[in-house]
């Protein structure tokens, strides 16, 4: 009987947790889980472990949290394990070549995109922001480049009209877990054919900043809807009512009333009671959920009861 392959798992955020749990449930040998160090988080800045560490300890795995991929003690530990495969999912660090070359089957990455499109750290968010209708997950043989390795397998899913980056994240995380097991199965049995990426098709998905969420009302309504959904749950979108910042959580596009077609972008236009309609560069946005500077997240009906916003008001 062949010896089962030995796996080292590297990951940090929630996106990697379903794959780790699925590996654990499959009975495969996971010798070590590597994740980022515990860090302060939230308003209280309390030091917290990353989600992968919590899951790994629950599953009974050994955990390593090196401050650097080049720490001698960490590299010695991996060399002693001599894993057959290193699985990397949203770990958050570039792996040195010495590490990439260590396992006999190399390092396998699960990326939340259909490579080579949306290489980089925020592929799910940018796919929604850019109005894509389809995305997926890719199993990739890692090399020294940024998401440039050969493609092993992919799985696709449509981006639904109500999808946010959050809902898509959760769906892709589960898909990635399933794809990982299939990839390992095929590697073990020699039924996989790596396919080089076409660099001419490559795009990049950079990290988002909080300032990216400032709504530009001169854009068309559909683009604003994509932005709000792509920035949910983080970093979120916002606009200003005079000097007050309003967080915008949910919107939808609505037909443009011809009588308001000349309204400047950002102008609050006439609407039914309990509605907040805003003129965009092209089309109209109806705001459904929002939050004032010091309040809580409310439906637009509840918000307007305490803070009416009359037609003609300009949001910036």
CA atoms lying within 13 Å on the CB side of residue 198: 4
DSSP-derived letter for residue 191 is -
Task: Count other Cβ atoms within 10 Å, centred on residue 184.
Answer: 23
Distance of CA 304 to the CA centre of its chain: 32
- 308 annotated to bind ligand: no
Task: Count other Cβ atoms within 10 Å, centred on residue 11.
Answer: 27
- Alpha-carbon Rg for the chain, nearest whole angstrom, is 23
Q: What is the C-alpha separation between 62 and 53, in angstroms, rounded?
A: 9
Q: What is the C-alpha separation between 59 and 32, in angstroms, rounded?
A: 11
3-state secondary structure 68-125: CCCCHHHHHHHHHHCCCEEEEECCCCCCCHHHHCCCCCCEEEEECCCCCCCECCCHHH
- 78 annotated to bind ligand: no
Q: How far is CA 10 from CA 52, 69, 262, 273, in A?
A: 9, 11, 54, 52
- 50 annotated to bind ligand: no
Distance of CA 177 to the CA centre of its chain: 15
Alpha-carbon dihedral sign for residues 252, 255, 260, 264 = positive
Which position has the token pair 């400047």?
A: 264
- 179 annotated to bind ligand: no
List, as residue ranges, the binding site for (6S)-5,6,7,8-tetrahydrofolate. Answer: 113-116
List, as residue ranges, the binding site. Answer: 113-116
């Amino acid at each position: 009987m062949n010896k089962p392959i030995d796996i080292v798992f590297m990951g940090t955020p929630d996106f990697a947790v379903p794959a780790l749990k699925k590996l654990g449930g499959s009975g495969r040998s996971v010798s070590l889980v590597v994740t980022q160090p515990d860090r302060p988080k939230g308003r209280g800045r309390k030091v917290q472990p990353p989600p992968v560490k919590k899951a790994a300890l629950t599953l009974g795995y050994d955990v390593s949290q090196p401050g650097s991929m080049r720490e001698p003690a960490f590299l010695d530990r991996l060399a002693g394990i001599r894993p057959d495969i290193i699985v990397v999912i949203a770990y958050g660090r570039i792996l040195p070549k010495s590490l990439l070359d260590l396992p006999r089957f190399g390092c396998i990455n699960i990326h939340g995109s259909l490579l080579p499109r949306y290489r980089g750290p925020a592929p799910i968010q940018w796919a929604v922001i850019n109005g894509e209708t389809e995305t997926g997950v890719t199993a990739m043989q890692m090399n020294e480049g940024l998401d440039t390795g050969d493609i092993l397998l992919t799985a696709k899913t449509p981006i639904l009209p109500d999808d946010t980056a959050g809902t898509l994240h959760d769906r892709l995380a589960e898909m990635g877990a399933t794809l990982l097991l299939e990839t390992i199965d095929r590697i073990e049995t020699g039924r996989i054919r790596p396919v080089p990426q076409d660099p001419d098709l490559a795009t990049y998905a950079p990290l988002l900043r909080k300032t990216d969420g400032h709504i530009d009302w001169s854009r068309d309504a559909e683009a604003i809807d994509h932005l709000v959904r792509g920035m949910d749950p983080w970093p979120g979108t916002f606009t200003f009512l005079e000097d007050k910042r309003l967080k915008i959580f949910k919107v939808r596009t609505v037909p443009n009333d011809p009588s308001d077609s000349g309204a400047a972008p950002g102008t609050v236009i006439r609407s039914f009671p309990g509605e907040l309609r805003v003129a965009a560069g092209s089309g109209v946005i109806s705001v459904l959920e929002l939050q004032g500077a010091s309040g809580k997240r409310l439906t637009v009906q509840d918000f307007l009861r305490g803070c009416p916003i009359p037609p003609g008001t300009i949001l910036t």
